[in-house]
Amino acid sequence: MKTPPSYRMKTRMVMVLAAMIVFGFCVVIHSLFQIQIVQGAELQERALGQQMRTERIGAKRGDILDTNGKALAKNSTIYQICVSPGDLKIKVGENADKMKEKRSAVIKCLEEILGCNPDTVAEALDNTASFYVVVKKKVEQDDYQRLMQEVNAKDLKNVIFGEEMTWRRYPYGSLASTVLGFTNNDNVGAAGLESYYEKTLAGTPGRIVSLRTQGGAVMPMQYEQTYDAKNGNTLVLTIDEQIQHYLEKNLEIAVSEHRVKNRVTGIIMDVETAAILAMTTKPDFDPNDPYTITDPDWLQQLQEAQEESFQQESVARTEEEKAAAKKIYTDKLWVARNTLWRNKAVSDPYEPGSVFKIMTLSTALETGAATVNSHYNCIGYVEVAGRKIHCHVWNSRHSGHGDQDLTQATMNSCNPAFIRIGQSIGTARFSEYFSNFGLTQGTDIDLPGEANSIYHARLSDADLASSAFGQTNKLTPIQLITACCAAVNGGKLMQPYVVKQVVDSDGNVVSNTAPFVKRQVISEKTSEEVRGILEKVVSEGSGRQARIPGYRIGGKTGTSEKLDQADSTTGDIPHILSFFGFAPADDPKVACLVLLDEPDVYNAWGSTIAAPIVGSILSDVLPHMGIEPQYTAEELDKMTNQVPYLINFDLHDAESELRIRGMRYRVIGSGSKVLQQIPGAMETLPEEGSVVLYTDEVQEDNVIEVPNVVGKSPEEANSTLAGLGLNVYMNGGKLEGVASIAISQSPEAGARVPSGSVITVEFTERDPAVENTLSADSPEEGDGE
């Protein structure tokens, strides 16, 4: 047995060893090299991908403030209330009655405090396999706390619980909603400023990056890094909540007054800086609940669509037909939402009509194609490129405006005259100034969805003619008002903007928006001439209804035909009525453009409909801006104290009538037509009194019981009565600084009168001797004096 291994065995051992090293160990070392060195970086990244967990630290979204710091959008904490039906499951060997009792307590609790439908809650509780069913979203802090008290008291803690959430809140509801936009369910901006400034507002969520085991636990002694959250910045807007409110109030009235089909848009701009003071399109939406349609017209359309949808579904045979039937409603809903969300002021170009004549006028004066002394003869029409273009007076008069100078032509908004002016400017210069006024590109305002204008790059003669009076080219309202401001502010085309300041969460200013002059379009002198002519338009021309006593208003009406949307069967052409106004005319501070897209009115002209709206808006806005009225002698003369007949007037017209007379007024009701006025027509309005216009039937709560003012001083009597909304007519010895006393009143104390009624109070000079004996029940005594 003791034989050593043979040579062959040894050779073979060496062979095996060599083979194992070459084919075994070298191969695996090669594999390791491949994996660790060649693919190392990639695999390491992949490994980190599964090992790293990132936890978000939420960043607080910035607020949106108006120019005075009022919050237009802010965050609030709300709760989502959930139930856990699984915890009400009746387990074997447990008291079933107790569970049933608990169950009814849950239903009762939710119904009483949150107003949940008991049936839906009961249904949710039936699903005992679940431990998480949301029963009510968006529960306020107060309600949540009340609920939790009740839950603790009744020991329902496991069954009812709340989840804290951050919700974007818009305290002013629909105010400026088309500008502000809204956030989606993930608190990400979905429209308007919320979307345009998403990055600024959202901030940067922080992260905790750590290595986690497969189970998710933090690895011991391992890498962890925290990146702090950076809260979003706050936007301070140029928009003034109060001005925005005035604009919206007036446009809301206009929508119902004129049954406007395609919404009403209005922009108020600081003439000097092109800062947007207010911007809206009505009807709009409530950003607190952007998906719900509240506009009655759209609601009706949706209901019709739903009915049609149901009807088609009931007769539908195939699944596709059913789906198509359902789609009728859902499509309509999306059209409604998208329409109401749309910011027409920047997104929808339209043919500006005669408002554009401001540009033509400015260009003509600047280029010398016309001077204030130029004369134009209007015979009712003009022939351009073999086609007759009529003046707007042709239909009524079958003649023209006759001979007019440039100012008169503008006041009359005479199309043939402006065609002539356009022709004398010529296509080249017209196009140059068109472009200089910033009308060939967007304004770059800081709002999403800005559309560009649609214009002729090369004008034919016919194009030039119609362009000159504002047809053919389509401009967005923001482009138009910016260009119009340039025409009246001394010729500077400004960059319009909405956000004037960005502030970080600690209140430090991050950035300020400085007004930016894009270019000098026309000279200061031309601009002054334009201002003068446009003031005449309001004081004496087609814009008369925008007049406000005490203020110098300039403006231009516009009536544009939507020729491209003419009804093919009836030939009816829908209109857009607009008015651009600015004040004060000698040193413009504020400008307002209002346009009504397809108002449903007979013989609609911008002069009769849009102008009084702008007048009404400016009469609210100017005092708010601290621009005090300065009455001219002529205006003071015109001011009477006889109330005009206003019943059945459109509200804006009635307001315009009263404004011209310098009368103060109040509107009661939400209608758009005046149903009753107090004092009545031809009655005398007491000094410092105000006319009350009723747009709804007089309601019981507007009837006021007349208080007793006998024995009171004039100041006391006045404040008592005026405070109740009554007008006071003071008779007798009412003298400032002299002791007077009321000795009688009519109607008597205790009578019930509508708001605004005039109470006549007789005063007499106070006799110190009778002061002590004078009592309320001795009116006759003073009667004789």
Partner 1 sequence: MSQRNNSGAARRRREASAVPEPRRVRPVPKRKLENKKMTRGHGASRPAKRGVRAKPVKARIGSMDYTFLMLVLVLVTVGLIMMFSASYPAALNATGDSFYFIKRQLLFAIVGVAAMFVASRVPFQILHRFALLLYGLSIVLLIVVLLLPEQSGVHRWITIPGVINIQPSEIAKFSIVVLFAHLISINYEKMKDPRYGIWPFLALLGVICVLMVLEPHLSGTILILGIGIIMMFVGGADVKWFFMGGLAAAVLVAIVALMPGIIPYAQTRLNFWLDPWSAPRNEGYQTCQSLLAIGSGGLFGVGIGNSRQKHLYLPEPQNDFVFSIVCEELGLVGAVLIILVFVLLIWRGYVIAMRCRDRFGSMLAVGLITQVAIQTILNIAVVTNTIPNTGISLPFFSYGGTSLVMLLGQMGFVLSVSRQTTLEKLE
Among residues 16 and 566, whose Cβ is nearest to partner 1?
16
CB-CB contact of 195 with 181 (8 Å): yes
Least spacing, CB of residue 37 vs partner 1, in Å = 6
**What secondary structure letter does DSSP report for 450?**
P
* Alpha carbon distance 533, 556 (integer Å): 10
x-or-dash string of contact with partner 1, 24-63, rule CB under 8 A: xx-xxx-xxxxxxx-xx-xxx-xxx-xx------------
Residues of this chain, 356-415, that bind partner 1 according to CB under 8 A: none
Stretch of residues binding partner 1 (CB under 8 A), selected from 13-21, 83-91, 280-288, 484-492: 13-21
The residue written with tokens 């009403």 in the block is 264
CB of 20 to partner 1, least distance (A): 5
CA distances 525 to 410, 434, 481, 491, 494, Å, are 18, 19, 20, 9, 18
| CB nearer to partner 1: pick between 7 and 602 | 7
Answer whether 599's CB lies under 8 Å from 278's CB: no
Buried b (16+ CB within 10 A) or exposed e, 562-595: beeeeeeeeeeebbbbbbbbbbbbeebbbbbbbb
Residue number with CB closer to partner 1 (1 or 769): 1
Task: Determine if 10 is a binding residue for partner 1 (CB under 8 A).
Answer: yes
For residue 720, the tally of other CB atoms under 10 A from its CB is: 16
Nearest alpha-carbon partner for 397 in 381, 375, 415, 419: 381
The pairing of beta strand 264-270 with beta strand 276-282 = antiparallel
For 588, phi and psi rounded to 5 degrees?
A: -60, 135
Stated as kind and residue range, the H or E segment containing 561 is strand 554-561
φ, ψ for residue 493 (rounded to 5)? Answer: -85, 120
Of 14 and 770, CB closest to partner 1: 14
Task: Report d(CA 502, CA 633) in Å as an integer.
Answer: 47
Taking CB under 8 A as the rule, which mask of x and - marks residues 509-548 in contact with partner 1? Answer: ----------------------------------------
Q: Which stretch binds partner 1 (CB under 8 A): 3-11, 226-234, 289-297, 420-428?
A: 3-11
Least distance (Å) from partner 1 to the CB of residue 227? 21
CB of 1 vs partner 1, minimal distance in Å: 7
Closer residue to partner 1, CB minimum distance, 52 or 379: 52
Question: Which span sits near partner 1 by CB under 8 A: 7-15, 529-537, 578-586, 718-726?
Answer: 7-15
Whole-number Å distance between alpha carbons of 364 and 378: 18
String of DSSP letters for 6-72 = PHHHHHHHHHHHHHIIIIIIHHHHHHHHIIIIISHHHHHHHHHHHHEEEEEEPPPPPPEE-TTS-EE
Choose between 214 and 508: whose C-beta lies nearer to partner 1: 214
Residue number, 14 or 749, with CB nearest to partner 1: 14
User: Judged by CB under 8 A, which of 90, 184, 197, 211 binds partner 1?
Assistant: 211
* Least Cβ distance, residue 19 to partner 1 (angstroms): 9
Of 23-31, 126-134, 263-271, 613-621, which segment contacts partner 1 by CB under 8 A?
23-31
From residue 220 to residue 259, the character string flagging contacts with partner 1 as x (rule: CB under 8 A) and all else as - is --x-------------------------------------
Beta carbon nearer to partner 1, 218 or 229: 218
* Nearest approach, Cβ of residue 221 and partner 1 (Å): 8
- Smallest gap from Cβ 7 to partner 1, in A, equals 10
* Strands ordered across the beta sheet of 740-746: 727-732, 758-765, 740-746
**Cβ atoms of 88 and 107 closer than 8 Å:** no
C-beta of residue 679 within 8 angstroms of C-beta of residue 691:
yes
Q: Which helix (H) or strand (E) holds 403?
A: strand 402-405
Nearer to partner 1, 43 or 372 (CB): 43
In angstroms, the CA 482 to CA 276 distance is 10
Give the residue from 562, 497, 487, 200 showing the smallest Cα distance to 346: 497
Of 514, 515, 513, 506, the residue nearest 234 (C-alpha): 506
- Span of 19-27, 151-159, 657-665, 700-708 interacting with partner 1 by CB under 8 A: 19-27
Which C-beta is closer to partner 1: that of 33 or that of 227?
Answer: 33
Judged by CB, which is closer to partner 1: 20, or 563?
A: 20
Cβ-based nearer residue to partner 1, 145 or 222: 222
- Residue with the two structure tokens 């004129």: 258
Measured distance CA(566)–CA(707) in Å, rounded: 59
**Nearest approach, Cβ of 13 to partner 1 (angstroms)?**
5
| CB closer to partner 1, 5 vs 58 | 5
738 near partner 1, rule: CB under 8 A:
no
* CB 55 to partner 1: min, Å: 17
Contact of 161 with 82, CB cutoff 8 Å? yes
Count residues near partner 1 (CB under 8 A).
Answer: 45
Q: Give the residue, chosen from 92, 214, 225, 626, that forms a contact with partner 1 under the rule CB under 8 A.
A: 214
| Residue whose pair of structure tokens reads 């079958």 in the numeric block | 398
Judged by CB, which is closer to partner 1: 51, or 423?
51
Alpha helices in 174-318 (DSSP H): 177-180, 192-196, 198-202, 241-257, 296-315
Q: CB of residue 47 vs partner 1: minimum separation in angstroms?
A: 4
The least CB distance from residue 208 to partner 1, in Å, is 17
Distances (CA, A) of 362 to 300, 366, 455: 45, 6, 19
Torsion region of 579: left, alpha or beta (phi above 0 gives left; psi -120 to 50 gives alpha): beta
Q: Which of 16, 299, 517, 749 binds partner 1 (CB under 8 A)?
A: 16
Check whether the bond before 283 is cis (ω within 30° of 0): yes
Q: Which of residues 222 and 775 has its CB atom nearest to partner 1 in the complex?
A: 222
Only segment of 212-220, 366-374, 510-518, 540-548 that touches partner 1 (CB under 8 A): 212-220
Binder among 219, 385, 454, 510 for partner 1 (CB under 8 A): 219
Contact region with partner 1 (CB under 8 A), list: 2-10, 343-351, 613-621, 753-761: 2-10
Q: How far apart are CA 96 and CA 645, in angstroms?
A: 76
**CB of 30 or CB of 666, closer to partner 1:** 30
Q: Which is nearer to partner 1, 50 or 508 (CB)?
A: 50
CA distance 77 to 74: 10
Q: Which of 93, 115, 215, 784 binds partner 1 (CB under 8 A)?
A: 215
Measured from the CB of residue 207, what is the shortest distance to partner 1 in angstroms?
Answer: 19
- Of 68, 213, 630, 699, which one interacts with partner 1 (CB under 8 A)? 213
The footprint of partner 1 (CB under 8 A) covers: 1-6, 8-10, 12-14, 16-17, 20-21, 24-25, 27-29, 31-37, 39-40, 42-44, 46-48, 50-51, 211-215, 219, 222
